[in-house]
Amino acid sequence: MAIGRQPAATGDSGVLSRPTWTTGWASWLTTVDHKRLGLLYLVSSFIFLGFGSIEAFLIRLQLARPEQQLISPDVFNQMFTMHGVTMVFLAIMPMGIGFANYFVPLMIGARDLAFPRLNAFGYWVYALAGLFLYTSFFLGGAPDVGWFAYAPLTSLSNNPGNGVDFYMIALLVSGVGTLVTAMNLIVTVINLRAPGMTFMRVPLFVWMMLVTSFLIIFAFPPLTIALFQVIMDRTFGTLFYVPEAGALPILWQHLFWIFGHPEVYIIILPAFGVISEVIPTFSRKPLFGYPIMVLSGIFIGFMGFAVWSHHMFTTGLGPVANTAFALTSFVIGIPTGIKVFNWIATMWGGHVRFAVPMLYATAFLITFTLGGITGIMLAVPPFDAQVQDSYFVVAHFHFVMGGGALLSFLAALYYWFPKMTGRMIPEGLGRIAFWLVVPGFYLIFWPQHFAGMVGMPRRVQTYEANIGLDAYNMMSTAGTFVFGAGMLLVLFSAIWAIRNGKIAGDDPWDGRTLEWATTSPPPHYDFDVVPEVNDRDPVWLQKHPELLERRDAISEAADPEHMPPEHVEQESIHIPGQSWYPFIAALGTFVGSYALLYHNLFLGLFASLIIFISCYAWAFEGVGGHHEHVTPTVGGRS
C-alpha cells in the first residue's frame, strides 16, 4: 500500500539531521508532504467527529424523555460545550482544511504547498490543541459555558474551575495553526498554479479555499483579542469582563461574532467548493455560471463580516441596529440562492450519474436550501426574538453545518477516497449508509424546529413533561441511532476499503480537474510533469479532444490554440526534506498551554525555550530535500 509513502531522501545539514524515514510513526511526525498532512488532518478530524458525536449522543439520551436525570446539569453543560467546540474547531473546519491540504496542490498542478514545514506546524498545533482541550476531562472538568462562552459566565467569580481556561487557551493556540495554514494556502494558490491556470480557470474548490483562507486571516484576530482579554482577566485579574467592576459583557459577544459569523462561512465555503466539483463531474457538464459562482463565493465571504449582530438581535441593540443587520443578513440570501440555482442548472441537461458522492451532493442541495430558508427566517429580528436561543436555532445551524458542511464532506470523502487510497469504497455499502445518514439526520433535526417553536430553549438539561415537547425530543433521540448507524457504516466501509476495496484506477469518476491526471494515490511529487492548463476542465478536455470542435465545449476562459505539448523535457523534481522542528515547535505550544493554564512560570519558560530553539533550528536547518528524476509514465495523462 502506497498511501502517502514518504520519499527516500538524501543529504541534510543542521542541528538535528533531517530525518529520512519513509514508513513508520516517525515518518508521520516529520512529514512535510501535503498529502500525508492532508490525511493526518482528515483522520484527526474524523476522530474528533467521533468524540463530538459521542457527546451529542449523550445529550440526546439525556433529553430523550422529560424530567430525566441520567446526566447531571454540570456534565450536561460540559457535553454540549465540548460538542460545539469539537464540531466547529476540531472536526468540521479541519475536515475542510484537510481536503484542501490534499487537493488544492493537486487541483492547481503544484507539487506541494508553498511552505511544507509550516503546513506540518499548522497541523501539529491543531492536533495538539485538540488533545490539550480533551485532557480537560481528566484535569478538573471540561469547559461548560457553551461554544461561544458568553461573558460574564467565563469570569473567575462565576466559573472558578479551569474548564474555561482550557477553552480559551485551546482556541488561542489552535487559532495559530489555522492562521498559518490559511496563509500557506493563499500563497500556494497565488503562486504555484500550473502554467496556463489563470484565476478564471482555477477549480471552484480552490477558489472557495482561497476565500476561506482570507476569511480566516481577517476573522481570527478579533477572536484572539477576546480570548486574550478573558485569559488576562482570569490570570492577571484584569477587568475586561467583570461586571462588578463596571464592565459591559456585551463586548465579548461583538468580538466573538465578528469572528463567529465568518467562521460559519469558513466552514461552509469549502463545502460549496466540494459540491461545485462533484455536481459537474457526475453530470458530465461544466459548472454552470462559473464566474458568478466565484463572485458569489467572494461576496458571501465579504458580507460575512457585516452580519455579526444578527446573533445578537435579542441583546437590546435597538431597532436601528437590528434593522441594519437584518438587511445585510437578507442580502447574503441572494448570492446563496444564485449558487443553488447554478448547481441545479449544472445538472440540467446533463447525464447525471447518482453515484454515492452525487447522492450526498443532492441531499446537500435540499438540506442546505432548508437551512438557508430558516436562516432567512432567523434574520427577521421580531421572529428571531422568539426563536433565538431555542431549539429552532439548534435545528437551523445543524441543517447548515451538518446537512450543509458534513454531508458535502461525506460527498468529498466518497469522491476523493479513490484518489487518496487507490481503492473504491464499496458502492452498495455507500448507498445503504446514505439511506441511513440522511433520513437519520432529518429525524434528528427536523423535529427540533418544532420543539423550539413549542418553547424549548437550547442548552437545557431537561424539560417539563406534557407541554408539547415530549414527542419531538423522542424523535430526535431515535434519529441519533439511525444517523449513528449510517456514520459507522461509512467509517467501517472506508476503513475496510483502504486494503480491500476495488482498485480504482487514476480516474474512476471520469473527472474534469487536474487531480485526476495523476496516479491514485499520487506519487509524492504529485505529477510526473507539471501539466499545462488550457481550460477550466483540463483533464476532461484532454480526454475528449473531439469537444474542441464543438463551440459549446470549452469555456470562454479556454485557449484552444495553446494545447499542452505531447511531451515535455523533464527537469529533476525537488522533494522537500522532512523535518522534526515543526512538530517540536508545536509540542512547545502544547507544553506552553499547560504552563498558562497552571500559571507555572518555570514550565512557561521551558515551553518558550522549546519554541524558540526549534524555530531557530528550523530556520537554519538548510534547504534539505533532494532531487528526483522521473520518466513520465505513458498514458498517465500528465
Partner 1 sequence: MPVVRWFRRVAPPLGLTLMLGGCVTDGPRSMMHPAGEVARQQMDLFMWTFWLSIAVLILVVGVLTFAIIRFRRQYTGDKDAIPNQVHGSVPLEITWTIIPVIIVILVAVPTVRAIFATEVRVTAEEGDTIVNVTGYQWWWRFEYPELGIVTANELHMPVGSRLILDLDSADVLHSFWVPKLAGKRDMIPNQENQLWLSADEPGVYYGHCAELCLGAHAYMRFRVIVDTQEDYDAWVAAFQNAGQQAETPAQPVQDAQLIDQGRALFAQKGCIGCHTVEGFASFPTGNPDYPNLTNFGLRRTVGAAVLENNRENLARWIRNPQAVKPGNYMPTLWRADDPAAEEESSAIAAYLLSLGSEGQEPRTQADARGGSDGDR
Distance CA 547, CA 565 (A): 18
Q: Dihedral (C-alpha) 529, 532, 535, 538: value to the nearest 10 degrees?
A: -10
The least CB distance from residue 38 to partner 1, in Å, is 30
Locate 543 and state its grid cell.
480526454
The least CB distance from residue 284 to partner 1, in Å, is 6
Instruction: Tell me whether residue 468 or residue 604 sits nearer to partner 1 (CB atom).
Output: 468
Distance CA 308, CA 502 (A): 47
Instruction: Tell me whether residue 305 or residue 341 sits nearer to partner 1 (CB atom).
Output: 341
The least CB distance from residue 281 to partner 1, in Å, is 12
Instruction: Tell me whether residue 149 or residue 176 sits nearer to partner 1 (CB atom).
Output: 149
Instruction: Tell me whether residue 416 or residue 463 sits nearer to partner 1 (CB atom).
Output: 463
Q: Report the b/e string of 516-548 with b at 16+ CB within 10 A.
A: bbbbbbbbbbbbbbbbbbbbbbbbbbbbeeebe
List Cβ neighbours of 462 (8 Å cut-off, separation of 6 or more): 62, 63, 66, 67, 68, 69
Instruction: Tell me whether residue 40 or residue 293 sits nearer to partner 1 (CB atom).
Output: 293
Instruction: Tell me whether residue 534 or residue 578 sits nearer to partner 1 (CB atom).
Output: 534
Instruction: Tell me whether residue 217 or residue 377 sits nearer to partner 1 (CB atom).
Output: 377
Helix axes 250-283, 319-347, angle to 10 degrees: 10
The least CB distance from residue 264 to partner 1, in Å, is 19
Distance CA 25, CA 35 (A): 16
Instruction: Look at the block and give the residue holding cell 521551558.
Output: 606
> Residue 136: which of 190, 180, 82, 198 has the closest Cα?
82
Instruction: Tell me whether residue 351 or residue 567 sits nearer to partner 1 (CB atom).
Output: 351
The least CB distance from residue 85 to partner 1, in Å, is 14
List Cβ neighbours of 561 (8 Å cut-off, separation of 6 or more): none
Distance CA 420, CA 341 (A): 31
Identify the burial level of 205 via C-beta atoms within 10 angstroms of its C-beta, where 0-12 means exposed, 13-18 middle and 19 or more buried.
buried
SS (H, E, C) 207-258: HHHHHHHHHHHHHHHHHHHHHHHHHHHHHHCCCCCCHHHCCCCHHHHHHHHH
Distance CA 463, CA 470 (A): 9
The least CB distance from residue 375 to partner 1, in Å, is 11
The least CB distance from residue 553 to partner 1, in Å, is 5
DSSP 179-205: HHHHHHHHHHHHH-PPTT--GGGS-HH
The least CB distance from residue 276 to partner 1, in Å, is 13
> Residue 174: which of 114, 233, 134 has the closest Cα?
134
The least CB distance from residue 81 to partner 1, in Å, is 9
Instruction: Tell me whether residue 205 or residue 290 sits nearer to partner 1 (CB atom).
Output: 290
Distance CA 283, CA 275 (A): 12
Instruction: Tell me whether residue 248 or residue 503 sits nearer to partner 1 (CB atom).
Output: 248
Instruction: Tell me whether residue 519 or residue 542 sits nearer to partner 1 (CB atom).
Output: 542
Cα-based angle 285, 401, 42 (whole degrees, multiple of 5): 75
Instruction: Tell me whether residue 16 or residue 474 sits nearer to partner 1 (CB atom).
Output: 474
Instruction: Tell me whether residue 271 or residue 420 sits nearer to partner 1 (CB atom).
Output: 271
The least CB distance from residue 467 to partner 1, in Å, is 4
DSSP 489-550: HHHHHHHHHHHHSEE--S-TT---SGGGGS-SSPPTTS-SSPPP--SSSHHHHHH-GGGGGS
Instruction: Look at the block and give the residue holding cell 464543438.
Output: 550
Instruction: Tell me whether residue 556 or residue 569 sits nearer to partner 1 (CB atom).
Output: 556
Distance CA 528, CA 194 (A): 13
The least CB distance from residue 381 to partner 1, in Å, is 5
Instruction: Tell me whether residue 171 or residue 347 sits nearer to partner 1 (CB atom).
Output: 347
The least CB distance from residue 48 to partner 1, in Å, is 23
DSSP 259-274: HHHHHHHHHHHHHHHH
SS (H, E, C) 560-578: CCCCCCCCCCCCCEEECCC
Locate 390 and state its grid cell.
431555542
